[in-house]
Amino acid sequence: MQLFNKLSSKENEELIDAEKSKRIILSFYKYAKIGNPELFRDHLYFNLNNLKVLGRIYIASEGINAQISVLENNFSLFKSFLNSISFLKNNRLNIAVEHYNKSFLKLKVKIRKKIVSDGLNDKKFEVTNAGERLGAEDFNNLLLDSDSLCIDMRNHYESEVGHFTRAITPDVDTFRDSLSFVEKKLSKFKKNKKIIMYCTGGIRCEKASAYFKYKGFKNVFQLEGGIIEYYNQVKEKGIENMFLGKNFVFDERRAERISADIISICHQCGKSCDKHVNCANEACHLLFIQCDSCNHNMNNCCSDNCKEIINFSIEDQKKLRRGKHNSNKIFKKGRSKILKFKQNLSKT
């Protein structure tokens, strides 16, 4: 039984091009006790691969976290399969705001220690004891409440291109850092303020709200379904959209447009821009914000050095990366010293 993808990205792209059905991008998660993650992983891969599902799925003993694309023609079969799994029956699916057939090229189902890395000792608190869930309208009302504090539980490069009006946007690199920020900076408000949190699809706030209730925060709320579900409700119900800019996503789309506002700048020249790109140098791939003008002048690169390297063959570019620990620079997303305008702005 084949339990992993054997095709190259190029071969997968060709298969996607040949498909006659559009793809629906969606995400879902569920905190649940999974006794045998390995067996569950195999069951998922076999069935989802048969349905031609693509994307990333993380499984841990604490639950499941999935970002995937499903053929429109197979969507009913996909939902029926999920409903056949007891703890996923009628589970909420966050349907993406924008769709792109090549958002994912492969199906990857991986086992992790946690479905979201948080650094917490979950044995100390009840993960399912989450904060009160809010729909879009109630979230808007609390957002305007003077007794509320709204916290963006995402990372700096996510909130840089889009966030809710009045939101506190921690300048952090990881979800773990976000938790520390709230605990250290907002603990004085734990009894007299309403703490409302949001993230992309809800999974981070699910864990965070339970943790902060355990830490003594009295009035904890979370945006149900995150930014994705919020915008779907805004469109469906005609509710005022209080999100500014783009919603960053972790696939080839990189972002979904939520409002026309552009709240960020090109990291190379400072021009108003909210388009994330990856450096074209295979030995770099740094994620940063680049305007069309800089993209043209720099050949889709983050630095003059990378601009020279892309003239090498792809094989030689990859050789330059071997043995080097670039992950930290790449993970810092937009903090690299080579992004001079961005760095100078941070110092002012």
Residues acting as catalytic residues:
199
108: DSSP letter: E
Burial of 232 (0-12, 13-18, 19+ CB in 10 A): middle
Name the one residue in this structure whose structure tokens are 């291109």.
Answer: 161
* Tokens representing residue 103 in the block: 């958002």
Amino acid at 307: K
- Beta carbons within 10 angstroms of residue 341's beta carbon: 15
Strand 107-111 relative to strand 54-60: parallel, antiparallel, unpaired?
A: parallel
Residue identified by tokens 């924008």 is: 98
| Tokens describing residue 59 | 């499984």
DSSP 102: T
**Residue with tokens 């005609």, as numbered in its chain:** 238
CA angle 78/81/86 to nearest 5° reads: 135
Report which secondary-structure segment, H or E, holds 72.
Answer: none
Helix-helix angle 203-214:175-185, to 10 degrees: 30
